[in-house]
Amino acid sequence: HSPEGFDCVINGEYQVSCLRDGSEVYFPFSFLKNYFEVYGKIVSEDGEERFEWFHSYSKIYHPKGKYDPKGVFMYFDNYNVEVRERVKCITASEGVPVSTQWEPRGYFYPIQIAQFGLAHYSKYIAEAEPNRLVLEDGDRTKALWFVADGASFTRKFLTDINNFVIEFNTQESLNSKGIELKLSESLTDFILNLNLKFESNGSVEVIVEDKEKKSNFHLFYVCSDLWITSKGNKIFHGLGDCNSWRRLTRDLLVDLQKGQSLSEKGKRILRSRARVTAVIFRGVGYADNITLSSSEHLAHFYDAADWFVKHQDDEGGWPIDVKRHLGAGVEDLDAGWYSAMGQGQAMSLLMRAYYSSRNEYYLSAALDAVKPFQALSEDHGVKAVFMDKYIWFEEYPTQPSSFVLNGFIYSLIGLYDVAHAPDSMGSEARDLYIQGIRSLKAMLLLYDTGSGTLYDLRHITAGGAPNVARWDYHSTHVNQLLLLSTIESDPVFATTAKRWQSYMNGKRAPHN
């Protein structure tokens, strides 16, 4: 005998085509995956096929040791913020991402910028030294430059920076030839890094070839405030102020991808098909230390940290200039709100920048960032109080309060990092951290559904269905608890992390 088709009636509501073999009835995965929201597919290994069923799609990263305010930030060495679709581009003026998540024209989102910086810092710590090829430094390494008719090119010692640099003087027009460095076919890295200063309205052009199509993309970095624009195979990033020395670090593949996305969403050239073929300068200016690397994490990290130093306001905050609609029953946040998570992640970033550079202004910015934690949400701060009892720091300082869990814990990690500032400078942060941990211990299990976690407590404050965390937020919760378990003695963090992780494999809390 063999299995036969059989009708299955689901909760008296609808019918599914099953198979029956004796007393056993078999349900199709196409039904199960929707009914239970599980995952799975047929996989093949060594010619053997099988079906792999997964209860969740997320991953847990077990910390390797005690959390260190100077070390890798959680598992952020696995993050790649800039390739996310909701990142419009990395600005060439400040080297930070622009978000389009809640506003398609784009805006600076402190959380995203901090995560970009923390990811690069963590990769810097976790990864091996990059390949780094200096193409031209005006001094020890000299490249062969093709100089257009009527243009000039020299190498020159500048006393203000005490260094040999290249000096060029060409037409500004992007159609003109400029001075051009053609690159060897053997180069396979895509991080361009150089020092740059224009005396005029100049530009840097980088040509990237699609090896398969034998066609070229042209990346232009121009003296302008624009973020990104494209026209055909030309992609433009604005350098902002061109007339002072600055270091420009570009992930050329990211710039290319973002440019391509402007015309065709999600399109992305494969690394293996791309090759950097030329660097061209136009206008009047100087360049130095032109380098192609496999990565320049520290440079990206400092770009992010510098953004926070530059854009911190008088209240110590980084206002978010986009309206935020959280959901029914919760008032929208008007542009200009602070986020405890944004503040916290910035603090984690800035403390690392301070430790790594010993520049006091990073420390100072991190200490100032604590201020919004002292003010209630309705007073433009980030503090909420649960049931008049437990102080909470709000990722979204809404009315009524929303009590987003992961944002709160990120803010606690930021406070922890500042709490460890030298001398007793971190005492204010330390007090807030201690209060926050007390709240977290009291409230953590409010997020436990017995088979997953809740993203926030808006159902308690605003009514309606609980807002269940999708698996990647759930795994963030687990990862955060695992981190806290390395710095807090209360076993609730490790115990809860373990149970919450088991939910990802379909385990459930017992019922009575």
The set of residues, in sequence order, having a beta carbon less than 8 Å from that of 100 and lying 6+ positions away, is 86, 87, 88, 106
Contact 500, 58 (CB under 8 A): no
Q: What track of x and - describes contact with a copy of itself for positions 439 through 458 (by CB under 8 A)? A: ---x--xx-xxxxx-xx---
- Asked if 296 is part of the footprint of Ca ion (rule: CB under 5 A), the reply reads no
Task: Show the tokens assigned to 67.
Answer: 């959390």
- Asked if 420 is part of the footprint of a copy of itself (rule: CB under 8 A), the reply reads no
Q: Binding residue for Ca ion (CB under 5 A) from 27, 31, 54, 164? A: 164
- Asked if 424 is part of the footprint of a copy of itself (rule: CB under 8 A), the reply reads no
**Which partner in Ca ion, a copy of itself, none is near 138 (CB below 5 to 8 A by kind)?**
Ca ion
Q: Which residue in the block uniquely carries the two structure tokens 């409230």?
A: 443
CA distance 495 to 484: 12
Q: Which stretch binds a copy of itself (CB under 8 A): 4-12, 95-103, 152-160, 252-260?
A: 4-12
- Asked if 61 is part of the footprint of a copy of itself (rule: CB under 8 A), the reply reads no
Q: Which residue in the block uniquely carries the two structure tokens 């790649």?
A: 80
Q: Binding residue for a copy of itself (CB under 8 A) from 132, 172, 470, 494? A: 470
Q: What track of x and - describes contact with Ca ion for positions 119 through 148 (by CB under 5 A)? A: ------------------xxx---------
**Which partner in a copy of itself, Ca ion, none is near 54 (CB below 5 to 8 A by kind)?**
a copy of itself
How many residues line the site for a copy of itself (CB under 8 A)? Answer: 71
Give the DSSP letter of residue 452: S
Contact 298, 118 (CB under 8 A): no
Q: Which residue in the block uniquely carries the two structure tokens 């002072």?
A: 244
Q: Which stretch binds a copy of itself (CB under 8 A): 42-50, 110-118, 203-211, 216-224?
A: 42-50
Phi/psi at 330 (5° precision): -120, 125
- Asked if 144 is part of the footprint of a copy of itself (rule: CB under 8 A), the reply reads no
Task: Show the tokens assigned to 351.
Answer: 């403390």
Contact 125, 161 (CB under 8 A): no
Q: Restricting to residues 246-275, name those near a copy of itself by CB under 8 A.
A: none
**Which partner in Ca ion, a copy of itself, none is near 119 (CB below 5 to 8 A by kind)?**
none
Q: Binding residue for a copy of itself (CB under 8 A) from 150, 329, 336, 463? A: 463
- Asked if 473 is part of the footprint of a copy of itself (rule: CB under 8 A), the reply reads yes
- Asked if 344 is part of the footprint of Ca ion (rule: CB under 5 A), the reply reads no
**279 vs 418, beta carbon nearer Ca ion:** 279
**Which partner in Ca ion, a copy of itself, none is near 288 (CB below 5 to 8 A by kind)?**
Ca ion
**1 vs 140, beta carbon nearer a copy of itself:** 1
- Asked if 9 is part of the footprint of a copy of itself (rule: CB under 8 A), the reply reads yes
CA distance 330 to 310: 32
Closest CA to 63 of 355, 505, 478, 495: 478
Q: Restricting to residues 379-408, name those near a copy of itself by CB under 8 A.
A: 386-390
Q: Binding residue for Ca ion (CB under 5 A) from 58, 80, 163, 364? A: 163
H helix intervals, 318-426: 340-357, 360-368, 405-419
Task: Show the tokens assigned to 149.
Answer: 């008719």
**Shortest Å, Cβ 1 to a copy of itself:** 10
110-126 and 340-357 helices cross at what angle (nearest 10)?
Answer: 40
The amino acid sitting at 117 is G
**14 vs 264, beta carbon nearer a copy of itself:** 14
- Asked if 498 is part of the footprint of a copy of itself (rule: CB under 8 A), the reply reads no
- Asked if 127 is part of the footprint of a copy of itself (rule: CB under 8 A), the reply reads no
How many residues line the site for Ca ion (CB under 5 A)? Answer: 6
Q: Which residue in the block uniquely carries the two structure tokens 């809390």?
A: 509
Task: Show the tokens assigned to 150.
Answer: 């009527």
Q: Restricting to residues 200-229, name those near a copy of itself by CB under 8 A.
A: none
Q: Which stretch binds a copy of itself (CB under 8 A): 29-37, 101-109, 133-141, 148-156?
A: 29-37
CA distance 481 to 491: 10
Q: Binding residue for a copy of itself (CB under 8 A) from 467, 479, 480, 501? A: 467
**Shortest Å, Cβ 53 to a copy of itself:** 5
Contact 18, 8 (CB under 8 A): yes
- Asked if 390 is part of the footprint of Ca ion (rule: CB under 5 A), the reply reads no
- Asked if 107 is part of the footprint of Ca ion (rule: CB under 5 A), the reply reads no
Query: What H or E segment, with its residue span, contains residue 238?
Result: strand 234-238
Longest pairwise C-alpha distance within the chain: 92
- Kindly write down the DSSP assignment for every residue of 185-232, as one continuous string: TT----EEEEEEEESSS-EEEEEEEETTTTEEEEEEEESSS--EEEET
Helix (H, G, I), strand (E, B) or coil at 252: helix
**107 vs 386, beta carbon nearer a copy of itself:** 386
**Shortest Å, Cβ 157 to Ca ion:** 9
- Asked if 57 is part of the footprint of a copy of itself (rule: CB under 8 A), the reply reads no
Neighbours of 495 (CB within 10 A): 12
- Binding-site ranges for Ca ion (CB under 5 A): 137-139, 163-164, 288
